[in-house]
Amino acid sequence: MLLNQSQQEKFKKYQLILLTNLSLICWIFTVVVPNFFNLGIQLILLLVTVTIIGIPHGYFDFLIAKKLFSKYSYWLQKFITIYLSISVAYLLIWVLSPAFALIAFLLMAIYHFGQEETEDIYDNSKLLLITLGSVPVIAPILFQTNEVFSLFNILLNQQIASPSLPAVKYFYILLLAIIILLRSKKLLPLYSLLIINFIYLPPLISFILYFCFHHSLRHYLQSLSDSNLFPKLISIKNITIFFLILTMLFTAGSIYLLLVYSSFSLEEIVIKYIFISLACLTLPHLLLNIIYEHKLGSEIQN
């Protein structure tokens, strides 16, 4: 199912409307029922949305790999082996050095988010890429410091004192506004919405809104609009259903095994599973997309 330009623009508007409405609903609940988004509710929403919407957006990597490597023999087997090997290697790094792995994950996330945000901007720059990519990482750290460091403590299996950053956060917002105004004014309404989410909503809720209902849905639309991935009008319904079921089974199996064979609480298990899984998948996903973008750039120049 290849989307044409008008369909892509239409669905982008729907995606933005959905993000805005969900944000408004979350604001209302936060104000009217302050304790509504307790940790249990946040973790349920996190597990469901990331499993159903977030993780599956990486399955378009299969189509990217097909475009890049299908001319080679046994390309699919080689791709799956390399992709999973990179993920397992990163998981091993996380086990051996959680702090290093977490920092690497945050840096990768900044680059990857920024890369996707600037794809449609003709006059972009590395400064704009890093600035936009930093928002879902830096803003929660600055404005929801205690809550975010509580999550870091769970991921690292150790206690880290959360710093006090009163002046830095206001400088960051000012710098962000200036760069967006100078480089891409059209993004100002969207990033005003996102910043408000990251400042006032619980960090897991603002992460869900950004990662699932902005980043992932945007990735779906961009992939479905890429004629290089969809040279013919094909249906991906069966593939989507297959991968969705696979993700749900993997999630359920992983949570069950961690409950049975680890000493962590259910809350700790969900947080570790979601963010460490995303970290392990982000590295090969990012590398593949860099290779794909470089190939497209080379083809355009030639």
Structure tokens at 120: 């449609």
* Local confidence pLDDT in tens for the 302 residues of the chain: 566 667 777 888 899 999 999 999 999 999 999 889 999 999 999 999 999 998 888 777 887 888 888 888 888 899 999 999 999 999 999 999 999 999 999 999 999 999 888 887 776 788 899 999 999 999 999 999 999 999 999 999 888 887 877 788 889 999 999 999 988 888 999 999 999 999 999 999 999 999 999 999 888 888 777 666 665 545 566 677 777 888 899 999 999 999 999 889 999 999 999 999 999 998 998 888 888 877 766 655 55
SS3 of 32, please?
Answer: helix
Cα-only R_g, the chain: 20
Q: Distance (Å, rounded) from C-alpha 11 to C-alpha 5? A: 10
The CA-CA-CA angle for residues 37, 220, 27, to 5°, reads 20
Cβ proximity of 60 and 292 under 8 Å: no
What does the pLDDT read at residue 126? 86
For residue 175, how many C-alpha atoms fall within 13 Å in the half-sphere facing its CB? 15
How far apart are alpha carbons 219 and 99 in whole angstroms? 29
* Rounded Cα–Cα distance for residues 6 and 180 (Å): 26
- For 29, list phi and psi in degrees, rounded to 5: -65, -40
- The values of phi and psi at residue 72, to 5°, are -90, 150
pLDDT at 1: 55
Residue-level pLDDT at 227: 64
Q: Which of 41, 8, 19, 53 has the alpha carbon at shortest distance from 214?
A: 19
Helices (H), ranges, the chain: 5-32, 39-49, 61-69, 75-96, 98-117, 126-143, 145-156, 166-183, 188-200, 203-210, 217-224, 237-261, 266-301
Query: Per the confidence metrics, is the pTM higher than 0.85?
Result: yes
